[in-house]
Amino acid sequence: MAAISERPQMLPEQFEEFARHLGRTVEGIRLELLKGKLGIKPAPDGDHGMIIEWLTQVCVQSRPELWMYDHGLQVQSCRDGRAHPDGTLAPHGTVAGQGEWANADDVLMVAEVTSYDSDADRRARVEKSRVYAESGIPVYLLIDRDSAEARVFSRPDGVRYETVHTLPFGKAVQLPDPVGISLDTEPLKNWVR
């Protein structure tokens, strides 16, 4: 029996056109194209914003040559995907001149903070770890507010991350090289329900 291949809902070019038009009419959402499927991220809440602010501050203080960008990325091995991580850690100037969807080649880490939307959470926990690994992004940090845990995915092999460390909020989390930053996750306890 021949394998059934999944047809994408739309091509990257169609997605970008759709996102440009919709972005002008609907605020508070971010569109993504993962594995050929359209995804919508809800607007982040205040606690989500505080977590990204905290993470940005820790990363920039530890590594001043880096910045935590809020920018869309071309992802997946053939760059057909479009993801909008909550944070993208890369050297200063990485996204300059790249338009709305930057190349992921110089990205050291992406970060996602779970929302209280079940579909967005499923994508953050399952689909995005695969997509980011396929893109060769060295570290993926998932801050899971439902379980009050930080998950650090590292050592991408082109299909998946070979190493995953999960620690409860309050423990020190080591972000491996090339990031090389230690996070005291105690403050994260302030931003969960």
CB 109 within 8 A of CB 135: no
The stretches in the chain having pLDDT less than 50 are: 1-5, 24-25
The pLDDT of residue 192? 87
| CA trace torsion 27, 32, 33, 39 (10° rounding) | -80
The pLDDT of residue 90? 97
Q: Which CATH homologous superfamily contains domain 45-191?
A: tt1808, chain A (3.90.1570.10)
CA–CA dist 58, 3 (Å, integer): 47
The phi and psi torsions of 126 (rounded to 5 degrees) equal -115, -65
The pLDDT of residue 60? 96
Give residue 96's identity as a one-letter amino acid code.
A
Give residue 154's identity as a one-letter amino acid code.
S
The pLDDT of residue 78? 54
Size of the chain in residues: 193
The pLDDT of residue 79? 52
Angle at the Cα of 72 (from 95 to 9), degrees rounded to 5? 145
The pLDDT of residue 1? 42
The pLDDT of residue 93? 93
Give me the half-sphere count of Cα atoms (radius 13 Å) on the Cβ side of residue 163. 10
Domain boundaries, the chain: 45-191
The pLDDT of residue 100? 81
